[in-house]
A and B are shown apart, each in its own frame.
Chain A
Amino acid sequence: MSDITRDEVAHLADLARIDLSEAEIDKLAPQLAVILEAIDSIADVATDDIPPTSHAVPLTNVFREDVVRPGLTAEQALAGAPATEDQRFLVPRILGED
């Protein structure tokens, strides 16, 4: 379970949308293998009857009255944008060429 190959790291980087360089992949793969090996120790600790915990305190859905509250202005929301046009976020083309 703990083996993680160069190709797998490249695939994961692709899923995570990070353009890792070849050198970065070479460095990351063995580091991740060491971490995964350490983590593997938990494989047999819990039997199937142990329920999972996602949050330490029990969560219930939170509701509020459906009333208008002040929010960010368009200027505030756009203040940190890399590029804007006509009070909108300006982004690179979304569709691929093919």
Chain B
Amino acid sequence: MSDLTRRSAAELAAALADGETSSVALTRAHLDRIAAVDGAVHAYLHVDAEGALAAARESDERRARGESASRLDGVPIAVKDVLTTVGMPTTCGSRILEGWVPPYDATVVARLRAGGLPLLGKTNMDEFAMGSSTEHSAYGPTHNPWDLERIPGGSGGGSAAAVSAFAAPLALGTDTGGSIRQPAAVTGSVGVKPTYGGISRYGLVAMANSLDQVGPVTRTVLDAALLHELIGGHDPLDSTSIDQPVPDVVGAAEQGATGDLRGLRVGVVKELTGEGYQAGVQQRFDETVALLVEAGAEVVEVSCPHFVHALAAYYLIMPSEASSNLARFDAMRYGLRVEPEGVEAPSAEEVMRATRDAGFGDEVKRRIILGTYALSSGYYDAYYGRAQQIRTLISRDFAAAFEQADVLVSPTAPTTAFKLGEKLDDPLAMYLNDLATIPANLAGVPGISVPAGLADGLPVGFQVLAPALADDRVYRVGAAVETALTGRWGGPLLDQAPALPTTEVAR
């Protein structure tokens, strides 16, 4: 039965439709897998066996009646702990929300439930999605299934590790500066950041509203497309939600899987290659570009001169928005409340200060202070204002590049997974991980990361970016890369991952 956890979500959906297995059986198989490996990986902050099995039973009953709630009805999924879930805690990896059970579901979570997907649990993350390694989680880091001493990426390291450890066939992530794509790259999985506004943010605990985007975390491009189709589309509860139909992402993934890219123009972004990129990462990237040429694509080099300033602009805009958003954690209506020591009858403000000191971790404090600085009078124009102008220049760079190419490509992350602890005390070095992923967030365009092979035994990611609302293109090209590479490898990259130590499961 254990081979159920190795299959893609599309294969599991087909097995359910054929009556080969039941939702209860495959939900149980994944719960067993979680029990066996999550002691070592720590992808999950909360596992809801009872709730998942109840939803699985309902799915099986529905199927027995000849009904189906969606194409993924009955296929279980894990959800990043930054999305609100009724009946399950939502901590955002922070002490300040320890044990908080939200009174409402995020729209994407409601759509999963309506689609019949059992929710396995909530996945680990850097606190409030601030980080590139999950080491900033207040509940301890997640470990990379390829090498347990290394980071799984971040902030969505839990979701990426869950799918790459076969502890979930599907997961939801969120991407503000690369938090879906960079973990996908370093764990050998697939991650998509959709067009800003393409998927509802209602119930996503905001870090930086103008950048945050929910998206799929999976092992195959088709699975990501199936999940995107299910959760995407207009939501009246999110005022930034785009009121247009979701592009045919599933059709695009199927088209790409034929391996034919004739007529497609691919732009290699000059500023996102070369210096600063690990030699092995650059090699896998160059080889993958050669495969695109073999598939019939026309490859050109494009220049996006302002991308070199994206990181700096991002580290002004994101903390500014975050410092404002996190003001809501005031110890009054929900979450932690800590009274200052040695103060009799403390005031609300004193309680607020003590709570925020005790409840927030180092990185969150760093960014709140940085954002407060950038927004404070006298600095606003020099910092926040300038950063917003850079944002304009980056969008213009994208527009010019998309005149010359249908999609842009780059390595997803400059390096493979580094060791846990290696960059914890050097915030700037940690921020550099997001070098190649940040421009897409600033401009709101969609991006995918697909596995491109290994460098020194560790996964490398290949990023494809497309113009806003043309999400289908990243699926088409992503699927073509996947088809070409899995053909060469003789199977998915994750088949090459070492076996994980398992804990005996008594049932």
Which of A28, A42, A94 makes the CB contact (< 8 A) with B366?
A28
Chosen A-B contacts, 27 in total, with CB atoms closer than 8 Å, are A15-B372, A17-B330, A18-B365, A20-B357, A24-B362, A24-B365, A32-B366, A35-B427, A36-B373, A40-B312, A42-B316, A42-B386, A50-B392, A52-B392, A55-B196, A56-B468, A59-B240, A62-B236, A64-B236, A72-B103, A79-B103, A80-B102, A80-B103, A81-B332, A83-B337, A92-B345, A92-B351
Bound Cα distance A72, B392 (Å): 39
By a CB distance below 8 angstroms, the chain B residues around A62 are: 236, 239
Bound Cα distance A58, B311 (Å): 22
- Which residue numbers of B lie inside 8 Å of A, CB to CB? 100-104, 195-197, 210, 236, 239-240, 242, 306, 309, 311-313, 315-316, 323, 327, 330-337, 339-340, 345-354, 356-357, 360, 362, 365-366, 368-370, 372-373, 376, 382-383, 385-393, 395, 427-428, 431, 441-445, 468
Quick one: CB contact mask for A30-64 with B, threshold 8 Å, 1 for yes?
01101110111111011000111111110101101
Tell me whether A53 and B388 are in contact (CB under 8 A).
yes
By a CB distance below 8 angstroms, the chain A residues around B309 are: 41-42, 45
Tell me whether A42 and B387 are in contact (CB under 8 A).
yes
Tell me whether B393 and A80 are in contact (CB under 8 A).
no
Bound Cα distance A27, B337 (Å): 25
Tell me whether B348 and A91 are in contact (CB under 8 A).
yes
Count of residues in A whose CB is under 8 Å from the partner chain: 57
Tell me whether B353 and A19 are in contact (CB under 8 A).
yes
Tell me whether B357 and A43 are in contact (CB under 8 A).
no
Tell me whether A57 and B468 are in contact (CB under 8 A).
yes
Contact status of A72 and B197, CB under 8 A, knowing A12-B373, A17-B356, A52-B392 = no
Which of B103, B352, B373, B383 makes the CB contact (< 8 A) with A76?
B103
Tell me whether B312 and A42 are in contact (CB under 8 A).
yes
Tell me whether B347 and A77 are in contact (CB under 8 A).
no
Bound Cα distance A31, B102 (Å): 35
Asked if A68 lies at the interface with its beta carbon under 8 angstroms from chain B, I say: no
Contact status of A16 and B240, CB under 8 A, knowing A80-B333, A82-B337, A93-B347 = no
Considering the complex, which residues of chain A in the window 1-15 have a beta carbon less than 8 Å from any beta carbon of chain B? 1, 4, 8-9, 12-13, 15
Contact status of A93 and B101, CB under 8 A, knowing A16-B323, A31-B366 = no
Considering the complex, which residues of chain A in the window 77-97 have a beta carbon less than 8 Å from any beta carbon of chain B? 77, 79-83, 89, 91-97
Which of A16, A46, A93, A94 makes the CB contact (< 8 A) with B372?
A16
By a CB distance below 8 angstroms, the chain B residues around A31 are: 366, 427
Which of B102, B339, B390 makes the CB contact (< 8 A) with A42?
B390
- Residue on B with the closest CB to A31? B427
Tell me whether A21 and B357 are in contact (CB under 8 A).
yes
Bound Cα distance A3, B353 (Å): 26
Tell me whether A50 and B389 are in contact (CB under 8 A).
yes
By a CB distance below 8 angstroms, the chain A residues around B104 are: 72, 76
Contact status of A55 and B387, CB under 8 A, knowing A18-B365, A19-B354, A35-B428 = no
- Residue on A with the closest CB to B314? A39
Contact status of A18 and B196, CB under 8 A, knowing A56-B468, A92-B351 = no
Which of A72, A76, A77, A92 makes the CB contact (< 8 A) with B348?
A92
Contact status of A20 and B442, CB under 8 A, knowing A39-B312, A56-B196, A93-B348 = no
Bound Cα distance A21, B376 (Å): 22
By a CB distance below 8 angstroms, the chain B residues around A43 are: 382, 386
- Residue on A with the closest CB to B97? A80
The 10 A-B pairs of least Cβ separation, nearest first, read: A56-B444, A52-B388, A80-B334, A82-B337, A46-B389, A76-B103, A19-B357, A19-B353, A53-B391, A62-B239
By a CB distance below 8 angstroms, the chain A residues around B336 are: 82
By a CB distance below 8 angstroms, the chain A residues around B385 are: 52
Tell me whether B444 and A15 are in contact (CB under 8 A).
no
Which of A18, A59, A83 makes the CB contact (< 8 A) with B353?
A18
Known: A72-B103, A77-B333; 13 extra A-B contacts, CB below 8 A, are A16-B323, A21-B357, A38-B428, A41-B312, A43-B382, A45-B390, A46-B393, A59-B240, A76-B104, A80-B333, A82-B331, A92-B347, A97-B347
By a CB distance below 8 angstroms, the chain A residues around B389 are: 45-46, 50-53
Bound Cα distance A81, B103 (Å): 11
By a CB distance below 8 angstroms, the chain B residues around A96 are: 347
Bound Cα distance A16, B320 (Å): 12
Distance in Å from the Cβ of B351 to the closest Cβ of chain A?
5
By a CB distance below 8 angstroms, the chain B residues around A77 are: 103, 333
Among B103, B340, B443, chain A packs the most CB atoms within 10 A around the CB of: B103
Bound Cα distance A50, B242 (Å): 26
Tell me whether B357 and A32 are in contact (CB under 8 A).
no
Tell me whether B360 and A18 are in contact (CB under 8 A).
yes
Bound Cα distance A1, B336 (Å): 36
Bound Cα distance A83, B395 (Å): 47
By a CB distance below 8 angstroms, the chain B residues around A18 are: 353, 356-357, 360, 365, 368-369
- Residue on B with the closest CB to A89? B333
- Residue on A with the closest CB to B330? A17
By a CB distance below 8 angstroms, the chain B residues around A12 are: 369, 372-373, 376
Bound Cα distance A56, B62 (Å): 41
By a CB distance below 8 angstroms, the chain A residues around B368 are: 16, 18
Tell me whether B332 and A91 are in contact (CB under 8 A).
yes
Tell me whether A28 and B353 are in contact (CB under 8 A).
no
By a CB distance below 8 angstroms, the chain B residues around A50 are: 389, 392-393
Among A9, A45, A50, A72, chain B packs the most CB atoms within 10 A around the CB of: A45
Tell me whether A38 and B210 are in contact (CB under 8 A).
no
Distance in Å from the Cβ of A33 to the closest Cβ of chain B?
11
